[in-house]
Structure 1
Amino acid sequence: MTFEYSQEISNDYEKLLENEKECDVIIYAGENQNLKEILAHSLILCTRSQYFCAAFSNEWVEKKDGKFIFKKPNISPELFKIILRFIYCGKIDLTNLQGSELLKLLIAADELNIQTLIPCIQKFLIKDKKEFLQNNIMEILQMVYLHELFSDLLDYCLENIKRIFNSDKFINLEASLLKFLLKQDDLRLDEIEIWEYLIKWGLAQEQEFNQDVSKWNQDDFDNFKNIIQKFIPLIRFYDISSQDYLNKVKPYEKILSEELREEILKFHLVPGHKPTLNYLPKRSIDSTLINQKHVALFANWIDRKDEYIKSPYKFKLLYRASRDGNTASAFHKNCDNKRATITVVKIKDSEQIVGGYNPLEWDISGYKSTKDSFIFSFTDRMDLQTGKVGYSNGDQYSIICYKKNGPVFGYNNLYHYNSWISNPVMTNNQYSYPKLDGMPNGSFNIDDYEVFQVL
C-alpha cells in the first residue's frame, strides 16, 4: 500500500522559503529605489531550475563569503518572489496581477527557464485578460513572435490578425515581422485583403508617394517595387478573384514580373491551367462549405476540449461531391483507408450544415465501434453558436462501412445512400447518437458535401 503527502511537502517547502533558514543564495532583484535583497537555497534552485543549475555548475555566478550572489535588475522583487514561491512549492496565484505585470512575469519565467510556468501565464492572459491583449496586441505580437515557448500568445495574435492589420501601428511594423505574418498559411483573411494591407504598409514607408496610383510615373513604380518586392512571393495571387485582381491588383501590376503576370492571366483565362510560378497553397481550408473557425471548433469536439486558441489539426480535402461525383464509389475511391475524417453536408437552399467525425477510417468492412465519433448540426453555418454535437454511445453501429453507401454514422442517424437521410433507429432502447435539434428527418436534398482527412 502506497501513501502520498505531496500537499504536506509543498507546505513545508513554502515555510522553508518564508523562514529563510540556512540560505546560501542572495538575489538582488530590481534596481535603484526598488532594489531588494531576497534569500534562497542553492540546492532547491538547482533542482527546480535549469537556469540556476547551469549557473551553479558552471561557476559563472559570483560567490562571496560562502554565498552565491545573483543580480537581476530587470526582474522586480515582487515578481521574483512569485517565481521563487513557484520554484519552492509549485504554487502560483496570478489573480491580482495586471496584464503588463503578467507579461513581465512571462519574460522572467522564460529567462530563468521555468518552462512549466510559461503555459500557465499564457493561458491565464488569454482567458482572463482579453481586453488587455486586444488593446496591446501589436506590442504583444512584437514580443512573442521570436519566442518559441510563447506559442499560445502568438496563436492568439494570429487568430486576431485583422485587429493587428487594422491597428494604427501596423504601418510601423518591422519588415521582418510583416514577412513572418505573410508566411503564415492559416491567416483568417481573404487574400485580396492581405494584398490591400501590404499596399497600405508599402505606401506608408515613403511620404512622397501619391496615394492615387494612376498619377505615378515609372520612378514611383520602381521605388515602390523596391519596398515590397521581397513580399511579392508570399502573396497567393491565384486565390484572388479576377474581379478583385482587375480592380485592386492591376493598378500596381508594374511591380510584378512579366512572367508572374502571364501566369496569373493564364490561370484566369485557360481552364485547368496549373500555375508553376509563385504558387502557394491556400491560406484557408480548401472548402466551399466551412472555414478555419469551423476547423477550430471541430478540433475542440474531436479532443473534447473547452477551447483551442488554434486548431492542432489540418483538414485536407479528400472528396467533394460536386467535383468528384455524388456516388458511393466516388466516395470510397477518394476516402477509404485515410484514417480520421470529417464529413460536412450543406442542406439545399439553406445555410444549414450537418455531418460527422469518423476517428477510424472508411472502407467496406462493415460495422465499427467507437465512442470518439460524433455527428453535428449547425442551423446556420455562419453562426458557430448554432452548432450542436452528439457523441456515439460506443455501440457496434458507431460507424458503418458498406460498399453501396457513402458515409454512415450510427444506425441511420445520418447516412448516404443515393441521397442523404437521417432516420435514427433504436437498438437496446437507445440511439447510436443523441438526437440533435435541427437535424433533418428523413431524406433531404443537399447543395454539396465534402470529406476532409484530419491530420
Structure 2
Amino acid sequence: MAFEYSQEIINDLEKLFEAEEEYNVIIYSGENNNIKEFHAHSILLRIRSQYFRSAFSKERSEKKDGKHVFNFPNISPQFFKIILRFIYCGKIDLSKLQGPDILKLLIAVDELKIQTLILCIQEYLIKHQHEFLQQNPLEILETVYQRETFTNLWNYYLEEICAKPDTLFKSDKFTNLKAPLLELLLKRDDLSLDEIDIWDSLIKWSYAQHPSIQQDVKKWNKEEITVMERTLHKFIPLIRFYHVDSEGFFLKVYPFKILIPEDILDNVLAFHMAP
C-alpha cells in the first residue's frame, strides 16, 4: 500500500521559508530606500529555478562568510517574497494584485526562469485581467514580444488584435508600434481589417516615423523618397492590393506609386483596368 503526504511536505517547506533557518544564500532585492534582505537555501533555489541552477553551476554568485550572495535591484521586495514563497511551497495568490503589478511580477519570474509560474501568471492574466490587457495593448504587446517565454500572452494578443484590429490600428499610439511588430501583424491572414484601411494605417505610421517629411507626396524631393522607400520596402509586398477596390486604389494607393515596385504596380494596374 502506498501513502502520500505531499501536503505535509509543503507545509514543512513553508515553515522553513518563514523561519529562514540553516540558510546558505543571501538575496538582496529592490533598490534605493526599498531594499530587503532574504535568506534561502541553495538546494531549493537550484531545483526550482533555472536561473539559480545555472548561477550555482557556473559559480556566478558572490560569496560572503561562506554564503552565496545575489542582488536583484530590478525586482521589488514585495515581488521577490511572492516568488520565493512559490519556490518553497508552490503557493501564490494573485487576486490581491492589480494588472500592472501582475505583469511586473511576470517579468521578474521570467528573469528567474521559473517556467511553471510563468505559465500560471499568463493564464491568470488572460482569464482574470482581460480589461487591463485591453487598456494598454501596444505597451503590453511590445513587452510580450521581447520575452520568448510569454507564448500564451503573445498568442492571446495576436488573436485579439486580429479579431478587433481597431483597438490597435485606430489607437493614438499606433504610430509608436515598432516595425518588426507591424510586419508580423501585416503577415497575418486573419487580420480583420479592410486592405485599404491597412494601407491608410501604414502610410500614417510611415509619416510618423519621419515627421519632417512633407505630407504631400507630390512635393517630395529625392531624399524624402529614399527615406520613405527604405521605411516601407518590407511592408509594401504584404499589402493585398488586389483586395482594394478600384476607387480606393486610384484615390489612396496610386498617389504613392513611386514607393511601389514596378512589377507589383504593373500587375495591380492591369488587374484594375481589365474589363
Given the two structures, how large is their TM-score scaled by the length of structure 2?
Answer: 0.89
Q: Which runs of 5+ in 2 are unaligned?
A: none
Alignment pair present for 1:151 and 2:151:
yes
Q: Is the 8 A contact 2:28 2:36 kept in 1?
A: yes
Give the structure 2 partner of residue 257 of structure 1. 261
Mean Cα deviation higher: 21-30 or 123-132: 123-132
Q: Distance in 1 between matches of 2:97 and 2:52?
A: 25
Q: Distance in 2 between matches of 1:67 and 1:233?
A: 58
Cα offset for 1:175? 2.5
Give the structure 1 partner of residue 89 of structure 2. 89
Q: Could you list the per-position Cα deviations for residues 16-72 of structure 1 after superposition, in whole angstroms to 9, with x for gaps in the alignment?
A: 101111111110011111100001111111111121111111111111212110111
SS in 2 for 1:244: helix
Alignment of 1:388-403 (within 5 A): none
Alignment pair present for 1:166 and 2:170:
yes
Q: Distance in 1 between matches of 2:62 and 2:188?
A: 44
Alignment pair present for 1:216 and 2:219:
yes
Give the structure 2 partner of residue 73 of structure 1. 73
Q: Could you list the per-position Cα deviations for residues 389-434 of structure 1 after superposition, in whole angstroms to 9, with x for gaps in the alignment?
A: xxxxxxxxxxxxxxxxxxxxxxxxxxxxxxxxxxxxxxxxxxxxxx
Cα offset for 1:226? 3.4
Q: Which amino acid aligns with 2:186?
A: L
Q: Could you list the per-position Cα deviations for residues 216-263 of structure 1 after superposition, in whole angstroms to 9, with x for gaps in the alignment?
A: 356455543333223212222233333432332122222112211112
Relative to structure 1, is the Cα distance of residues 208 and 66 closer, same or farther in structure 2, using a 3 angstrom cutoff? closer
Alignment pair present for 1:48 and 2:51:
no
Give the structure 2 partner of residue 384 of structure 1. none
Give the structure 1 partner of residue 132 of structure 2. 132
SS in 1 for 2:115: coil
Alignment pair present for 1:246 and 2:250:
yes
Give the structure 2 partner of residue 25 of structure 1. 25
Cα offset for 1:174? 2.6
Relative to structure 1, is the Cα distance of residues 218 and 73 closer, same or farther in structure 2, using a 3 angstrom cutoff? closer
Mean Cα deviation higher: 231-240 or 252-261: 231-240
Cα offset for 1:190? 2.5
Q: Distance in 1 between matches of 2:220 and 2:37?
A: 65
More strand by share: 1
Q: Which runs of 5+ in 1 are unaligned?
A: 272-455
More helix by share: 2
Q: Distance in 2 between matches of 1:268 and 1:128?
A: 48
Q: Is the 8 A contact 2:27 2:38 kept in 1?
A: yes
SS in 2 for 1:141: helix
Q: Distance in 1 between matches of 2:114 and 2:210?
A: 44
SS in 2 for 1:149: coil
Mean Cα deviation higher: 69-78 or 156-165: 156-165
Q: Could you list the per-position Cα deviations for residues 70-105 of structure 1 after superposition, in whole angstroms to 9, with x for gaps in the alignment?
A: 111110111011111111111110011122211111
SS in 2 for 1:27: strand
Cα offset for 1:108? 1.0
CA RMSD of aligned residues (A): 2.1
SS in 1 for 2:233: helix
Q: Distance in 2 between matches of 1:184 and 1:147?
A: 20
SS in 1 for 2:39: strand
SS in 2 for 1:35: strand
SS in 1 for 2:33: helix
Q: Distance in 2 between matches of 1:247 and 1:151?
A: 40
Q: Could you list the per-position Cα deviations for residues 155-191 of structure 1 after superposition, in whole angstroms to 9, with x for gaps in the alignment?
A: 2332224312222122122323322332334323222
Q: Is the 8 A contact 2:213 2:220 kept in 1?
A: no
Relative to structure 1, is the Cα distance of residues 261 and 8 closer, same or farther in structure 2, using a 3 angstrom cutoff? same
Cα offset for 1:6? 1.8
Q: Which amino acid aligns with 2:249?
A: Y
Higher normalized contact order (CA 8 Å, seq sep 6+, divided by chain length): 2
Cα offset for 1:268? 4.4
Q: Which amino acid aligns with 2:83?
A: I
Relative to structure 1, is the Cα distance of residues 76 and 243 closer, same or farther in structure 2, using a 3 angstrom cutoff? same
Relative to structure 1, is the Cα distance of residues 151 and 188 closer, same or farther in structure 2, using a 3 angstrom cutoff? farther
Q: What count of residue pairs does the alignment treat as equivalent?
A: 270
Q: Is the 8 A contact 2:27 2:72 kept in 1?
A: yes
Relative to structure 1, is the Cα distance of residues 119 and 267 closer, same or farther in structure 2, using a 3 angstrom cutoff? farther
Q: Distance in 2 between matches of 1:217 and 1:104?
A: 44
Q: Distance in 2 between matches of 1:222 and 1:52?
A: 49
Larger Rg: 1
Given the two structures, how large is their TM-score scaled by the length of structure 1?
Answer: 0.56
Mean Cα deviation higher: 224-233 or 9-18: 224-233
Cα offset for 1:112? 0.6
Q: Distance in 2 between matches of 1:148 and 1:266?
A: 43
Q: Is the 8 A contact 2:25 2:39 kept in 1?
A: yes
What's the % identity of the aligned pairs?
57
SS in 1 for 2:146: coil
Q: Is the 8 A contact 2:206 2:232 kept in 1?
A: yes
SS in 1 for 2:149: helix
Relative to structure 1, is the Cα distance of residues 236 and 44 closer, same or farther in structure 2, using a 3 angstrom cutoff? same
Cα offset for 1:269? 5.4
Give the structure 2 partner of residue 15 of structure 1. 15
Alignment pair present for 1:201 and 2:178:
no
Q: Which amino acid aligns with 2:25?
A: V
Q: 1:192 aligns with which of 181, 193, 196?
A: 196
